[in-house]
Chains A and B, each alone.
Chain A
Amino acid sequence: MTATVARPATTAHAALAASRRARRRRRALVTGGLLALVVALALVALMVGETFVPLGDVVRVALGQTVPGASFTVGELRLPRTATAVLAGLAFGAGGVTFQTMLRNPLASPDIIGISSGASVAAVFGILVLGVSGPTLSAMAVGLGLATALLIYLLAYRDGLLGARLVLVGIGAGAFLHAMVQWMLLRASAWDLPAAIRWLTGSLNDSSWEQVRPLAIAVLLVGPVMVLASRPLAVLQLGDDAATGLGVRVERTRLLLLVGAVVLVSFATATTGPIAFLAFLAGPIAARLVGPGATLVLPAGLVGAALTLAADLVGQHAFDTRFPVGVVTGAIGAPYLVYLLIRSNRAGGSL
C-alpha cells in the first residue's frame, strides 16, 4: 500500500478527514447539548412544584446545606424524584438503544419485546405478594429480567439467531408476562389505580432515596461498560458475518450487550415500573439528533433522561389532573411510534 502514496489525491484525502472530523464534532456538540438540557430540566424540576424554590436555594440544598423551608421539599421530595427520573431515563434509553441497534430494528426495544415485562412481573410479585423492597426487589427484577431475556434468546435461537424471530418470540413473551402482571394486580386485590398505573405504564410517584440507590449503582457500574461496548456494537450492525470478518466475537459480544442492557432496564423497571415507550423512543430520537453512523448509547441515555424529566414536568403541572410520567410518555410515544413504524418499514427496518 506504500506504493500508492505520491498522487494528487492528497487533497481529497484531507477533505475526507476533515468531513469526518466535522461529523464527529457535531456528535460531540449534540451530546454536550443534551447533557446541558438534562441538567437544565433537572434544575427546573427541583425548582417548581407546590412551592417555588429559587435556583440558589436548590443549588445549596443539592450541595448539602440546610436551607429553611427548602431542605425538606427539595432534598426529601423533589431530589429523589428528579434523581430517579434521570437515572431511569439513562437506563431505559441506553438499554433500549442497545437492543434496537443489536437487533437492527427500532421496534425491537425491551418494552415492546417483553424484556421489561419480566422485570415488572418480578417487581409486582415482590411488592404485592412478598412485600419486599429496595435491593432485594431490584435483585429479583434483574434476575427475572435476565431469565426472561435468556429464555426469549434461547427460544429464538435456532441455527443462529434471527432478529425477526427474536422480536416475534419477544412479543409473545411480553403478552404473557403482561397478563401475569395484570393477574397479580387483580389477585392481590391491589387494583388501585396508582399501583396499576405504575406497573402497567410507569410512574415516579413512589420515588425515595431508598429506591434510588440500587438504580444509581447499576447505572454507574453498567453504563460505562455499555458505552465502551458501543464500538463492537456498531460493527455488529453490519450483520453477523461481516462482524465476524472484522474480528468481533459475535455471540460473546451480543451476550455481553444483552446482559448489560437487561440489567439497566430491569433496575429501572423495578424502580419506576416500565415507563411507556421510553426505551423505544430514546434511541430513534438520539439517532435523528446525532446523525447517522454514530454510536448512540450515551446520547440515547441522555435523551431518555431528558424525556423522563420533561414528561414528568408536563404530567405534574400542565393539567388539572396529575398524570404519571408513563401516561405522558405513552401519549407522546404513541404517535411517534406510528410515524417511526411507517418510516422504518419503508426504509427496510433499521434504526
Chain B
Amino acid sequence: MTTAHTLTVDHATVGYGDRVVLEDLELTVPPGRFSVIVGANACGKSTLLRAMARLLVPRAGAVLLDGRQVHREPARRVAQLLGLLPQQPVAPEGIVVADLVGRGRHPHQGPFQRWTTEDDEAVAQALEAAGVLDLADRSVDELSGGQRQRVWIAMALAQRTDVLLLDEPTTFLDVAHQVEVLDLVTDLNRERGTTVVAVLHDLNLAARYADHLFAMKAGRLVAAGPPSEVVTADLVRDVFGLESVVIPDPTSGAPLVLPLGRHHTGA
C-alpha cells in the first residue's frame, strides 16, 4: 500500500550557530527499505537525521520529499507522510499509554475535528504492532525503558506515515531490548513497506539489520550501499579510525566487525 515516497537530501549545508556540520551533502533514501546512518561520534549523523526531519533548516540546498522541500510544505501535511521518533521525547507525567500514542494522531486532526473511529483504529493497531496493547491503560511512568521505547514507536506508528525517522532508538537500552526494538522496526518495514531511516551507534547491529547503510565521517558521506558491500576493514579504519577484521556473521551472513587493539592485533 505504500506509494514509495522518496526522501532526498539535495546538496544540503547544515549547521548550528556559526558551525557548519554537514557541507553540500547529497543522498537519496531508498524507498521501502531500512536504512541506517553510521559513523563515529560527532560525525554529523544525528544532524543529518534532524535535517531530514526538518528539525534543522539547511542553509543551502534542501531536503526533498517527493521533490518538494520539507521546510516549505505545510507542517501538518508533511507530518502525515514523514514521522519522527526523536532521541529524547518527553512523556507528560501520569499520561496513560493509549493517550500518549493517541497524540500521534495530531497531524490527522483539524483544530475543530473530534476524535474519530479511524483514530481509535490507528491507535489500537499501533499498540498491537508495537506489542504494547496490553499496556494500553498503564501509566507511561511505570514502564521499563524497553517498554517505554516501544510505546514511543507505537506513537510514531499511530501517525501512519510512510517514512519513519528514528534518532538512536536503542540508546539507553540493554542488548536484549536493542534487538527487540530493531526487530520491531524490521517487521514494520517488511510488513508495511515503511521506509525507515535510523541513526545507530552499534556498527554490528546496523550491519545486521540495515538494508542500506550510509557511512559518515566529518560531515561527509563516505560510503553508501548494502552492508555486505559497505562494511570493510578499510571503511572501518577510515570512518572510525579503528583497525579491525571483518568476517561474515555466522548467524545472518552480514558483515561482523571485530575490533583490534594494540594488544590483540590478530597477527
Residues of A within 8 A of B (CB): 1-4, 9, 12-13, 16-17, 19-20, 23-24, 104, 159, 228, 231-232, 234-235, 237-242, 244-249, 287, 291-293, 344, 347-348, 350-351
B54 (CB) vs chain A CBs: closest residue: A244
| 0/1 string, B128-163, CB within 8 A of A gives 1 | 110001001101010000000000000010011000
- Interchain residue pairs with CB less than 8 A apart (6): A1-B160, A19-B137, A228-B111, A242-B90, A246-B107, A246-B159
Besides A16-B133, A242-B90, A245-B83, 8 other A-B contacts (C-beta < 8 A): A13-B121, A16-B120, A24-B115, A241-B89, A242-B86, A292-B92, A293-B92, A350-B93
List the A side residues contacting B50 at CB < 8 Å: 241
**Bound form: Cα–Cα A245–B197 in Å:** 14
Instruction: Please tell me if the beta carbons of A159 and B17 are within 8 angstroms of each other in the complex.
Output: yes
- Assess whether B32 is interfacial by the CB under 8 Å rule: no
Complex Cα–Cα for A270 and B82 (A): 45
| Given known A-B contacts A20-B102, A20-B120, A239-B86, A247 and B75 have beta carbons under 8 A apart | yes
| Given known contacts A1-B125, A1-B192, A248-B75, A19 and B93 CB-to-CB distance under 8 angstroms | no
By a CB distance below 8 angstroms, the chain A residues around B82 are: 245
A-B contact count (CB 8 A): 141
The reply on B103 being an interface residue by CB < 8 A is yes
The 3 closest A-B pairs by CB, nearest first: A247-B79, A245-B84, A292-B94
Q: Say whether B104 contacts A246, CB under 8 Å.
A: yes
A287 to B139, CA, bound (A): 15
Measured CB to CB, the closest approach of chain B to A336, in angstroms, equals 17
Residues of A within 8 A of B99 (CB): 20, 23, 292-293
- Nearest CB in chain A to that of B16: its residue: A159
Q: How far is the CB of B89 from chain A (nearest CB, A)?
A: 4
- Complex interface: chain A residues within 8 A of B111 (CB): 228, 231
Chain B residues near A228 (CB, 8 Å)? 111-112
A210 to chain B, nearest CB (A): 35
User: Which partner residue on chain B sits nearest A243 by CB separation?
Assistant: B106
| A231 and B109 contacting across the interface, CB-CB below 8 Å | yes
Which residues of chain A come closer than 8 Å to B106, judged between CB atoms? Answer: 231-232, 235, 246-248
Give which listed residue, A3, A19, A247, A350, contacts B107 with CB less than 8 A.
A247
> Would you call B92 and A16 a contact (CB within 8 A)?
no
Given A9-B128, A237-B92, A347-B141: A244 touches B100 (CB 8 Å cut-off): no
Bound Cα distance A3, B107 (Å) = 23
Q: Is the Cβ of B88 less than 8 Å from the Cβ of A247? A: no
Min CB–CB distance A327 → chain B (angstroms) = 31
Q: Are B124 and A246 in contact (CB under 8 A)?
A: no
B231 CB within 8 Å of chain A: no
Interface membership of B41, Cβ < 8 A: no
Chain A residues whose C-beta falls within 8 Å of the C-beta of B96 in the assembled complex: 23, 292-293
Q: Quick check: A244 and B55 within 8 Å, CB to CB?
A: yes
Task: Give bound CA distance, A249 to B54, whole Å.
Answer: 11
